[in-house]
Amino acid sequence: MNNVIEQMLTKYEIKNTNDEINALKEIIQEIVLAGLSRSNFFDEVAFYGGTALRIFYNLDRFSEDLDFALIQPNKDFDLSKYFVYVKKELKAYGINLEIKTKQKNIDSNITSALLKGNTLEHILKFFPNEEKHKYDHILKDLKIKFEIDINPAIGATYDFKYKLLPNPHQIKLYDKESLLAGKIHAILCRGWKTRTKGRDLYDYIFFLATDTKVNIELLKNKLIESKYINKNDNFDIDNLKKLLIQKFNEIDYKEAKEDVMPFIKNIDSLNIWSKEFFVNITQNLK
């Protein structure tokens, strides 16, 4: 095994196959970010979403995708020109993944790419002392999606963060206030009807527990863009709390819990989830 990967694995508590796959995906995510940082990618793009929150702000759950947003809208943004940096970085650590742009089925502000490779091959590369037969049930390819919003709502504010592994690099990303705005937008606007993504709720609790204030300007612009509110609507923290409380009264919490369980260690922390719980903690939103 590569010494750097071995070093990166030391921060994980590995107890089962699910833990191994989560660690594998996250290390690959960090290697991809390091590769992108070698280019001028973060001159025009910022990292955001659940993976940004975990890697740079210590969220205690795993996240599957890499989400980015342009600093300035650019309908002609070409994601594929950065693939060479990603491939070179992955290859340096012995990781064999294909990367391809996903074709849009509809007119969208999101440009996507998919990293894909053999799950078993990489599990055995990261955990060479394991026995192959343990993983006979792993038939699906390893997949990591990344998406870039090429026409983002205005109002985001940013941080610069540094990482030492897999090699020293700098990342530009949304600050916590802007990440919270994005997370609340997801809670309100994901098109899942009552099937709210449990990962969104888990992250929402994390933000409130760390006393994060919401970037209200960014959130308003994102809600207008999604046609959830109108441009001339009154929108302040009290209006926002009312919208969230209405949402929390509609959610199927059993399904929300099932969504987040594979990504967290302490599933007992979900026992308290209910509409009463989320309505109550929302009073602390600032």
pTM: 0.93
- Rounded to an integer, the average pLDDT of 63-83 is 94
Instruction: Tell whether the model's pLDDT for residue 103 goes beyond 80.
Output: no
Dihedral of the alpha carbons of 194, 198, 201, 205, in degrees to the nearest 10: 150
pLDDT at position 205: 98
pLDDT at position 131: 78
pLDDT at position 46: 98
Structure tokens at 84: 């060479």
Pairing relation of β-strands 142-149 and 158-163? Answer: unpaired
pLDDT at position 195: 61
List all residues 6 or more positions away from 191 whose beta carbon is below 8 Å from its beta carbon. none
Lowest mean pLDDT among 137-141, 167-171, 227-231: 137-141
pLDDT at position 105: 61
Instruction: Tell whether the model's pLDDT for residue 144 goes beyond 90.
Output: yes
When pLDDT is cut at 50, 70 and 90, the band that residue 134 belongs to is confident
